[in-house]
Structure formats: C-alpha cells, structure tokens
Amino acid sequence: MEAVIGIAGLLVAIAAALLAVAPQRAARQEQSLALFVRVRSHLKDHRAELSTACADGQREHRADEELVLLTRPGWIPPRPLPLEAVRMSLREVRPYERLDGRAGQLDRYWPYRSGAGRWESYSAAIESVDRPAVWFNGPSYRLLEVVPPPSDRPEAGLDLTFTLGRYFDHLDTTEALVYEEALRAVQGAARPLHGPYRRSLGDPFALDRRCALPGVSTLTIRVEDGAAYFFMHHREAGKVAVAMNTTHVVPAGEFQPHADVLPVWRSDLDLWRNTMREYAEEFLGAADAAGDGGVTIDYARDAPFSRFERALEERRARVRFLGLGFDPLGWKPEICLVCVWDAATFDEVFASMVERNDEGVLVVGTRAAAGYRGIPFTEESVLGYAEHAGTLPAGRACLKLAWRWRHELGLA
C-alpha cells in the first residue's frame, strides 16, 4: 500500500512539474516569436543604416573606393564590356565546396515552434512567421569562384564558376548575415560586423563556406532624341522576403534557370536570358518564370522574349557588363549590367508596361506619347539615387558606373 501511495505521489509531482513548465515554455515561445517579428520589422525599416555601417566598416574590401559594394582588383572593368567578356561555367559541387555546417551557429536566433524546438532555419522561420507574397525554393546558380583578368589586360573580363543551389540555402547561409546584423542592432550592439556567425565565416570572399547566389541588377536607360532617361523600382515590404522597403534599379532578380531540368540549367546560364525574364516580370507584369518547371521558354519564338532578342540583334538595345561586387551587409554577390534602349523600340516592346508589379512600384517618370519616359539621366537624378542610402548597394553601383561611363555608353 505504501508503494502505491509513493507511486501516486510521484505521478502527482511529475504532473505538477509539467504544469509548471508548460507556462514557461509558452512564454519562451511567445518571447522568441516577438523578437523575430521585431527584428524583421527593424530590418524592413532600417536596412539602409545597417548597410551603410557595414560598408564603412569594410573599406579594406572595397577595391573601387567609389562603390559601396565589396570588390577585388579586376572585378570592375575599366569600361563597360560586352556580356561575352563574362565567361561562365557550371559544374557539379565538389566535396570541399559543400556547406560546412557553420549555419548551425544560427540556431539560437530562430523562434520556438508550438510544442517543439526552434525552427531549424531562417527560411523555415520566415515561412511560418513572415511569409512574403513572392516565395519559393527555386533552383539558383551558386557562385563558387571568380577569376579576374590579368593586371596587364583589364578588359579581358571575368571567369565565373557556378554550381546549382537552392534559394532557401542562400537565405539560410548568406541572407542570415543580414538578420544577424539586425538582431544585434535591436539588442543594442555597438559595433557592426561582429556577430558570431559573420566572424566564423571570416572572409566575405570565401565562397566555399556558404551558399552565395548572385543577383543580376540591370539599369534600364531609354534614349529619346539624344536625351537619356532611366527607371527605378521601390521594393515593398510584404511582397518580398529580402531587401524590403528599398529602392533598386530595374529589372533585378536572382540568377536562376527558369525551369528545374538539366538542359535548362546549362542553357539559362546566360545573363541576357535572366534579364529578359526579369523584364517580362517587372516591366510587363508577367507571372514569375523561374524555378517551377513546366513548359520551357523558347527565347527565339515566345513573346515577349523574341522581341527582346530581336532588339538586341538589331542593336536597338545594347547591354553591357559594368562589374561584380558583394553587398556589404549580406555578402551577396551582385552582377551589375546596363541596358540602353532606343526610345521607339522601348515604347513598342514595353507598350503594356505596368506601374506596379508583384514586388513593388516602378518609378517611371513622366508619360511619353506611347508609355513612360523615365527619370531624366542627369547628374542630379542619377547621383541623387546613387548616393542615397535607401538605394540598394548594387543599384547604387549600377548608377555610379553608368554615370562614370556615360560617354562610353553614348549618353552624353
């Protein structure tokens, strides 16, 4: 009888302990969720300040001192280059290029799930707590190596090596640096660039330690009667997962194949094809064409891509490579381009141009007879955006370099 009473007492004690722990677990979960939401909100409202502080703290990594992007010698050419000067290859990932587990150091940053442990990654936490309108784990090109030109031939261009990655891997191992910086700011950290995860990565250019997926940013310029105009894009919070509430050149997006099938992985390793798809999405409001499989694009026949191709072949549009750099806040690789359009061709190709798309609002300037004229390509306007902290670093670089080379581009 005493044994039964003892067991019953033990069970009562265990039940009481569980009842006492349950409120603590619920409070811990609520606090972690509240902190995650607060940090994401801070990031949406204060990315410019975070980016500026990180750029100022990494001047030793800015070979081109006029740009806020992190660059190495040879990454910014001496003049705009044709896209053929960027030679790209795709290979299977090698053992030393696999991710080495450093992202596990971020585990304590993610909120607790109901009745379980923490979310296992940044992407999982975003999906659960702050999922944007545009959201999918598409295949993307992961940058592995950058080989600059010889110092005596700076116009020889770059050699870039890629493998195939996934967008969420980038969020979890590279964009997580942005979250870490915002978290430290919310918690009152005095010094930027000193988060434990960033310090564990060490060198921003060590591409074997994380999944770094490049963005392709293109400054669009419309030329009418000798006068040049350009377009910008305001990225709205709630519509995009990263770089929320910022201004950028347009079009811009991840460097991705449009379908997750082997032939397309290789055929879409092409900066112009990537830019054409972004034009279709951001200027014409077409559905996102990247990453979901299905029918593949025939760029020579399918509209609007065939019109883009024809304009380039007939030199009514000219696209040039401006340079490569890394975002100072998130260490994301950024490929910077410029595309210059004759006004008549631009107005025809983009006759159905939208002012609002799935990611935000286009800044289109005044109306032209057949559409939108754009913002005047003047020193005041170009450098106004280029020197404003609210413009993304890759966009600032595109604008600075286009203004630097306006004579070479035929804009002055």
Split at pLDDT 50, 70, 90, the class of 289 is low
Helix (H) or strand (E) holding 19: helix 2-56
Q: How far apart are CA 257 and CA 311, in angstroms?
A: 22
Confidence of residue 89 (pLDDT cuts 50, 70, 90): very high
**36-39, long-range: CB < 8 A, 24+ apart:** 36/110, 36/111, 36/125, 36/129, 36/130, 37/129, 37/130, 38/186, 39/179, 39/182, 39/183, 39/186
**pLDDT per residue over 198-241, tens digit each?**
999 999 999 999 999 999 999 999 999 999 999 999 988 777 77
Give the dihedral sign, CA 48/49/52/54: negative
Q: Which two tokens stand for residue 358?
A: 């799935």
Indicate whether 404 pLDDT > 80.
yes
Residue 91 · residue 163 · CB < 8 Å = yes
The answer to whether the CB of 259 falls within 8 A of the CB of 250 is no
Q: Can you give the pTM of this predicted structure?
A: 0.91
> Are β-strands 246-249 and 252-254 bridged in parallel, bridged antiparallel, or unpaired?
unpaired
Domain 30-404 has CATH 3.20.20.370: no
Q: Which residues pair with 246 in a beta bridge?
A: 235
Pick the closest to residue 250 from 313, 175, 341 (CA basis). 341
Domain definitions of the chain by residue range: 30-404
On the question of pLDDT at 96 being above 80, the answer is: no
Question: Which residue has tokens 């040039």?
Answer: 320
- DSSP-derived secondary structure for 34-55: HHHHHHHHHHHHHHHHHHHHHH
CB–CB of 23/16 below 8 Å?
no
